[in-house]
Amino acid sequence: MSNVQNYIDENIKTFEKQLFELLRIPSVSTDSNRKGDVKKAAEFLIDQLKTIGLDKVTLHETPGHPIITAEKCPHDDQPTVLIYGHYDVQPSDPDELWETPAFEPTVKNGRVYARGASDDKGQSFTHIKSLEAYLKTGTELPVNVKLILEGEEEIGSPNLVPFIKANKDLLSCDMVLISDTAMFGEDQPSITYGLRGLAYMEIHITGPNRDLHSGVFGGAVENPANVLCEIIAKLKDEDGVVQVEGFYDDVEPMTPEMRDAYKALPHDDEAYKESLGLKALHGEKGYSSLERASARPTLDVNGLWSGYQGEGAKTVLPAKAGAKVSMRLVPDQDPDKIASLFKKHVESLAPDTVTVEVEAHHGGHPVVIDLDFYGLKAAAKAFGDIYDKEVLFSREGGSIPIVADFKKVLGVNSILMGFGLTKDALHSPNESFSLKDFHRGIKTSARFLEVLPDFVEQ
C-alpha cells in the first residue's frame, strides 16, 4: 500500500498539470454554444481512463451531453464501489469579477483558481488519480471499482436517470462514492450525510403589447415589474417563513437529537458573517444558521429581469418581467408536488391586469443517508487517517439530485466524501480548490479502497 501512497506523492505535480488541462476546457453544460467543449472534456477523461488501464472505458452519447463509464472489477468476493463525478461546470459569469480568467487555471497561495476547480473537476479527478496509483504500481485493487462521470449535473442530470435505469447491470454496485461536497472547515475531514432537494421555477409576467413611455402611460397601465416585485414580496413573511400554501406539509420536523447534533458542530456565526461581508445574518426565525442552511427548506430568487438595465436612466414602463426562483427541499418534500404548489400559489397572487405564467425547470429529491452504513464508516476511517483528525458528520444545503436516484434505482447508499471548502466559491467568480486538499483527496480515495474490505458486514 505504501507503494500506492508513494506513487501519489511522487506524481502530484503531474496530476496537478493534468487537472489544469481539464480546467482549461470550458465545459459549461447549460450553454448550448459550449456543447463541443463539454464533449472535449469527456474525451479528455476517456483518454485518462484508458491510459491508466481501466476496463470497458466507454463514452455513451445521450440526447444531451455524454456519460462516461469504466471499471476494474478483479474480485468475486469484495464489494463494488461506483465512483460518481461530474465534468460539467456552471457558467463563469460575471466574468469581469474574476481576478484571473475562469478557464485559465492560476495557482495562488496553494490554491488553483478556475471554474470547476472544486465543483467538480478537481474533486472527482482525485479518484481517477487514486485508481491510477493502484494500476500503475501494479497493486491489486482491494475492491471492485466502477466509474460514472456525467456532463449534466449542473443542469439537473436530465439524461442520467434514464441511463441508470437502462444500465442497471453495468452499474450494479454496493455503494456510490462521490466527492462533490464541502468539508466542515479547513483541515476538518467531514462526511456529508444529507443533501437538500430542489424545485426550480421560472415566472413570466406580461403586460402591454410593447414597452411604453412611463410618463405617458404610467399610472393607467399595470407595470409587470411592479407586479413581479409584489408577488415575490409575498412569497415569504418577515420571519423568513415561506408562504406557499402547503409548502411545509411534508417537512420532517427537527427532533431534539437532530438539533443537539447541530449544536455540537463547530460553527461561529460572527466568522461566517464576516467571511461573507455581511452586516447581519438572516433566515427562518427559531433556527440556527447551520439549520437554516441545510435542515430547513428555503425559497430564493436566483435571477430577476425587467425594464432598462443600461447606463443612466430610461423612462420606460416595461412590457415584461420575469424571475427564476429556487426552493431547496428537505425530507420528505417532493419536488413535483412543491413545483405545483408554487405554481398554484403564484397564479393565485396574480392580478387580472397582466398575464402570469409559471414554469418548472429541473428538480431533485432530498436525501439523508443512514449513519450506520458500513461504507460511511470505512470512509470516515480513511478520511481521518489521511487528515489525521476525527471526521465530523454533517448535512449540507446543496443538491446532488442523482443521489436519491442511486438509492431508488440501484438500491444503494452514497458516500459523500467531499474535499471542498465553503470558501472555494462554488458557482461564484474566483472559484478555487486547495491543492493540498487535491493531494490529500487522492490519498484519502486510495486509503478508502484499502480499508473498505475491513468494514464489510458479514
Find out whether 65 and 38 touch, Cβ atoms under 8 Å. Answer: yes
Q: Rounded to the nearest 5°, which phi and psi values hold at 146?
A: -120, 160
Amino acid at 122: G
**Rounded to whole angstroms, what are the CA distances from 286 to 144, 282, 289, 296, 305?**
46, 11, 10, 11, 33
Residue 182 near which of ligand BES, Zn ion, none (CB within 5-8 Å, type-dependent):
ligand BES
What is the per-residue binding string for ligand BES in 161-180, x denoting contact by CB under 6 A? -------------------x
Residue 93: active-site member:
no
Contacts of 368 (CB under 8 A, 6+ apart): 193, 194, 331, 395
User: CA 452, CA 448: separation in Å to the nearest integer?
Assistant: 6
The helix/strand/coil state of 92 is: coil
Site for ligand BES in 91-150 (CB under 6 A): 119-120
Residue 239: active-site member:
no
- For residue 74, which of 6, 142, 19 has the smallest C-alpha distance? 142
The CB-of-256 to ligand BES minimum distance in angstroms stands at 25
Site for ligand BES in 248-307 (CB under 6 A): none
Residue 324 within binding range of ligand BES, rule CB under 6 A: no
Residue 401 near which of ligand BES, Zn ion, none (CB within 5-8 Å, type-dependent):
ligand BES
Residue 199 within binding range of ligand BES, rule CB under 6 A: no
What is the per-residue binding string for Zn ion in 112-151, x denoting contact by CB under 5 A? -------x--------------------------------
Residue 424 near which of Zn ion, ligand BES, none (CB within 5-8 Å, type-dependent):
none
Handedness of CA 116, 34, 325, 406 (dihedral sign): negative
Residue 405 within binding range of Zn ion, rule CB under 5 A: no
Nearer to Zn ion, 26 or 375 (CB): 26
Q: Give me the numbers of helices (H) and strands (E) for the chain, helices first please.
A: 13, 18
User: CA 90, CA 38: separation in Å to the nearest integer?
Assistant: 12
Among 85, 151, 322, 401, binds ligand BES (CB under 6 A): 401
Site size toward ligand BES (CB under 6 A) is: 18
Site for Zn ion in 36-65 (CB under 5 A): none
User: CA 204, CA 346: separation in Å to the nearest integer?
Assistant: 11
Q: Rounded to the nearest 5°, which phi and psi values hold at 416?
A: -100, 90
Site size toward Zn ion (CB under 5 A) is: 1
Determine which one of 37, 88, 152, 291 is catalytic: 88
Amino acid at 80: T
The CB-of-226 to ligand BES minimum distance in angstroms stands at 29
Find out whether 161 and 376 touch, Cβ atoms under 8 Å. Answer: no
Interface residues toward Zn ion, by CB under 5 A: 119
Interface residue list for ligand BES (CB under 6 A): 119-120, 153-154, 156, 180-182, 195, 198, 362, 364, 396, 398-401, 426
Question: Would you please indicate which residues are annotated as catalytic (active-site) residues?
Answer: 88, 153
